[in-house]
Amino acid sequence: MDQRPNHIGVIGGGAWGTALACLAGRAGAEVTLWAREPEVVESINRDRENVLFLPGIALEQAIEATGDIAEAMRADILLLVSPAQALREVCRSMASHLRPRTPIVICAKGLERGTNKLMTDVLVEVLPEAEPMVLSGPSFAADVARGLPTAVTLAARTHDDALAVARTLAGPTFRPYVAADLVGAQIGGAVKNVLAIACGIAEGRGLGESARASLMTRAFAELVRFGKTFGARAETLSGLSGLGDLMLTCSSQQSRNMSLGFALGRGQSVDDVLGSRRSVSEGVYTAGVVVALAAERDIDMPISRAVHDIVEGRITIDQAIEDLFNRPLKAETET
């Protein structure tokens, strides 16, 4: 990767995949975007807009959409933007078309249900010849698509590999900071989705700004405890892909996870909220994995556990709040 690659493939035609395609086009690359939905392919190629997932935003002329994944796989770099729970299936469909050592940048945030694995572990298991990377950080699709200032973490096995891809995506309003901590970059993005549901519930319940600030602080303590146990670096967890992403996702209803929590706080059911959306709220699916891994490793994760219990219908919101405030008193830094 000594030269700047001029062809980027985007695997996934949702809001985030479309936004990243815009980003790559603005950076001067030829972009092929694969979408599962024929109406997305048609909308992008005919109208230069993803009406289904990112309406109202004009797309770069450099983007060509396709329903044939093999066409996108001819690219120099692949941005893998399928939902976390669909990532294994999508990787299988990519297998026969992948060139060895092609950088695959995972842009989904979650942990796989059933296996409890990180997205990079799933990728390497299905596509062992791929070069795994992770793009994560505080970034709403609409902001990136519109060219608003955004900074993220781009993690790879080595600094040089991360830097090569970062140079390809960087632009006047998009700044990727490189890292060699694949574990930390993934855990920050996955766990914050669960914790954002909790902040949304507090907002929807009208618990006040003080409660939300306290909840975000304690949520970050959970994220750090969890991440360090699995080998994440402290500086990664306190950086863009950890603290930065948590702050954004817990502060705005543009976040699918916070808005879901908000709806729960207002009395809606999980099924009703999910049934009314085409987009995925990854925190719902990741919560059970986080709680299971925390139990295996004896990690104290009371907020994540409360979210999981609420989502599964095992406990009411009022009971969860009462339980959290009746936990034994201890020092703030005590684990």
**pLDDT over 80 (residue 5):** no
Out of 109, 117, 192, 330, which one is annotated catalytic? 192
What token pair was written down for 262? 């908000």
CA distances from 121 to 2, 6, 128 (A): 27, 28, 10
Q: Is residue 127 part of a domain?
A: yes
Tens-digit pLDDT profile for residues 294-308: 999 999 999 999 999
Helix (H) or strand (E) holding 306: helix 302-311
Quick one: the chain helix, strand, coil %, rounded to 5? 50, 15, 35
pLDDT of the residue at 278: 80
- Distance in angstroms (rounded) separating the CA atoms of residues 63 and 56: 16
Instruction: Look over the chain and give the mean of its residue pLDDT values, rounded to a whole number.
Output: 95
pLDDT of residue 3: 52
What DSSP string describes 290-305? HHHHHHHHT---HHHH
Please state the rounded mean pLDDT for residues 314-320.
96
Question: Does one domain contain both 23 and 132?
Answer: yes
SS3 7: strand
Residues 167 and 211 in one domain: no
Give 253's DSSP letter. T
Q: Are 144 and 265 contained in the same domain? A: no
- Phi-psi sector, 231: left (phi>0), alpha (psi -120 to 50), beta: left
Write the CB contacts of 271 (distance below 8 Å, at least 6 apart in sequence): none
- Is the residue at 334 inside a domain? no
* Total-model pTM: 0.94
pLDDT tens column, 209-267: 999 999 999 999 999 999 999 999 999 999 999 999 999 999 999 999 999 999 999 99
**Rg value, the chain, Cα:** 19
**What is the CATH number for 243?**
1.10.1040.10
Q: Kindly state whether residues 112 and 53 are assigned to the same domain.
A: yes
User: Which tens digits make up the pLDDT trace of 99-123?
Assistant: 988 999 999 999 999 999 999 999 9
Q: Angle CA(221)–CA(241)–CA(177) in degrees, nearest 5? A: 140
Condensed to tens digits (0 to 9), the pLDDT of residues 119-171 reads 999 999 999 999 999 999 999 999 999 999 999 999 999 999 999 999 999 99
Give residue-wise pLDDT tens across range 183-212: 999 999 999 999 999 999 999 999 999 999
Note whether 157 and 269 are same-domain residues.
no
In a 3-state reduction of DSSP, which class is residue 115?
A: coil
DSSP annotation string for 29-63: -EEEEE-S-HHHHHHHHHHSSBTTTBTT-PPPTTE
Nearest alpha carbon to residue 102 among 71, 133, 125, 126: 133
Is 330 labeled as catalytic in the residue annotation?
A: no
- The conformation of residue 28, written as its DSSP 8-state character, comes to T
pLDDT value at residue 6: 84
Distance CA 232, CA 180 (A): 10
If one counts the domains in the chain, the total is 2
pLDDT score recorded for residue 1: 45
Q: Which domain holds residue 268?
A: 184-325
| Structure confidence at residue 276 (pLDDT) | 86
Q: Are 201 and 239 in the same domain?
A: yes
Is the per-residue pLDDT at 4 higher than 70? no
